[in-house]
Structure 1
Amino acid sequence: MNAVAIFDIGKTNKKAFLFNESYQIVWENSVNLAETVDEDGFPCEDIVALKDWFLSCWEQMKSQTQFNLKAVNFSTYGASFVYIDEEGNPLTPLYNYLRPYPEKLKNKFYTKYQGEEVFAVKTASPVLGSLNSGMQIYRLKKENPEVFDKVKYCLHLPQYMSFLLTKEGFTDITSIGCHTNLWNFNKMKYHKWIRKQNITEKLAPIHSSEDAVIIENDIAVGIGLHDSSSALIPYIINFEDPFVLLSTGTWVITMNPFNDKKLNFEELQNDCLCFLHYKGKPVKASRLFAGNEHEIQSLKLATHFDVAVDSYKHVLYDKAIITELRAKFKQFTKGDSKILKDCPFNKRDLSDFENYDVAYHQLMLDLIAQQIVSTNLVIHNSPVKKVFVDGGFSKNSIYMNLLAEAFPTMEVYAASMAQASSLGAALAIHKNWNTKPIQNDLIDLKFYKH
């Protein structure tokens, strides 16, 4: 059986899959690797442990005689650089994107390059310190010039994984394009600060996300993708009508591949950004910390009503409760962006609600009020017809029904597929290994009427 291997490297979970030509998972392996610390004692990925796990898993995959391994690709978290020397060895720890960024250095940088507002708009990157991965390179150059001089390439993590097999350095557009401070979205090329700081030659050549390098046994090795961009690929391939995708987890990220309007500073301040999808087109996105908020508030509700923490899983959408709540309490329906800063439910008095189910319906009303504002920031003036929701909230009937009601002119669907970012990485290199056409039933959809 012909198969493609995919390594999906998350911050906590590292997963490996084999997909057959119909994109079904036929083999899997996963591991949680312990973190190590950098020179400041800040926790970070153990690059040696990651490399060892990857190479042993790769050997295991190749030894499965029932599979004919045709290709491999990578989907990993972003904002993380591996600095390699001429021999391909990492020169520094794999710094954590949550590592505090020196205020003085940050101010020096933005002062030099037209200030935060102008720079953020040009690079579609909110000011996020180490999460702007280009700032990590700038820091290395300024704080450790002797190490920086030894750098052959600064490789984003997906491209380092690919390098381990091909020994070739590449840069991929989905990694550069995601709030890195590296890309000028007005000119669709690197921002000039890269050249001025003599960093250009340390960045490997840009290659298409659909490219692959052939290694021994005619295996095609993809150059890897940033995981959020990768998760969007199955949707871009399957649907021609303009859509937005709400990817729901700790964050709810609304992604609109059909909005090419330039970002403005107000949008950036409201947690909007742009990234580049696998064909190099800008995707406007907004973020809302809604999954995290849901976790905090459902814990509060469980304590107050003395029920199990996961009781919300058994609460089904009840239109009568919604009607009653709307009549009784102030609701937030106006598109005021101030609502994004703090969930209205925080100010609710839990003793106002007669039971857990009623209180939980109000929590969902308040989260949806925030979601409408966040999602409208990226739908604005674009021809979107469909809304897809994947991840945790897609299984929540109250969330889905309220969302469908909030967007009456659109078709709202709960979408589910196994391992979206892994599937996207496999589909990106389809032409390099799979002779079958891509089926159009990779995503299960459930329609919600408003």
Structure 2
Amino acid sequence: MSSLFLPAELKWIVARHLSGDAATLSALSLVSKPWLDASQAVLFSQLDYTLDSPGALGNLICFFAEHPRLAACTKWLVLQGGTESLVEFELQEIFSLLDLMRGVRAFTLHHCDLNGPSEPLVFRHPCNLFVSAVHADIRTLASLCSCLEGHTLAIDDLYPYDPVYASPALFGTMRALDFSNVREMAGTASHLPPLWREVLLRSCSDNLVSVGLSMDLSEPLQSATCWNFLQRKGRCVEHLRLNISETYFPLFDDAAERIIDDEVGSDGFGGIPQDWEHHMLSEGCPLLKSVTLVILADMEDASFNTEDTILQWRYALRLLSSCPSTITHIFIELYAAGERTGTGSLNTAEEVDWAKWGEVLQRFQNLESFRFVASGRHWVPGLGDICEIEPITTTFISSWETYVCEELPSCRLQDVLESTRSSSHPLAMTAV
């Protein structure tokens, strides 16, 4: 059958299958009017623009004002400044563009200077917000968030201009808040200053459904801030993402070695440093359905100290053991240390006590999915898309899942892991 006579539904299926292949989609759009419609809808569904001159955003607005059908196709929109200098984006121009794109579900701002009024605005748009390397004052960011009714804010790095003051209503409309990808690298400034972290946590509502936090266990103040937040505002949280992968434990003396060598510990999960604070998630987050834990895993034998890494895994097991029985989805996100070449090392996997993990996982009678996923933001049903869906399966991840499936003592857990390995859209915490 000639492609010209394919039913319209099949043309759209073919076009969606070619998503990401701009050259083929462009060629396909020249075949006929039906192919043009299907191809353009896919081509314009995910847009990533680098705007490196003052008038570039205005030109983009003019283009989509003249082509409203193309603007209506966009679901994911990324606006980023140029690499040479910081470009200023005015809130009013951003709103003018979004007003033309009412179908946008996820909006990303990257490497730009955000400028605009700090008072409440009347504009409303049903999308979520992801900011990365954005320079802004907190009230401008709050004004933007108040206009985006996806009620989701994800932050990778933010550079503030002003001293910040907590206000109970500043981010009160948020139902999903995620800064779990923020990393405070040694020798550099924090990607999210501690004061901003505290303000965001204090000024969001008690009705958060989805939360992502970075928790460096070797920094007691940061850890205490996160735990206090979960105790105070975790009552409605259903999806939790905790990133403990940046935690570092110095191996300087015999006492440290004794902690690592202690495979039992005070509660049967193995030794961990005494100052690593932990609480019962079942008390702070009694409605929890999915939990994603971001943990280090060695990619190569010599790239990172596996003995140091194993302490994170022991702590993670304690966290899981404290979860409520409402848990249905558990995701272990592997933050890989070392070069991403070949299949990667299973050093870390071989050090984990999977019998103990099996005992804890068996407690969750409603468990539908236990997965290992690659690092990145993942889709959360019901809470919108934070950014373009990333592949969750790599050779490294597959080798982990194969190994763990053989090590788990329970046939039921093996079945849960095996049956969800082919899932294309896991219920994982985004960044949201």
TM interval, shorter chain, is: 0.3 to 0.5
- TM-score of the two chains, using structure 1 as the length reference: 0.33
Bigger RCO (CA 8 Å, 6+ sep): 1
Higher relative helix content: 1
Higher relative strand content: 1
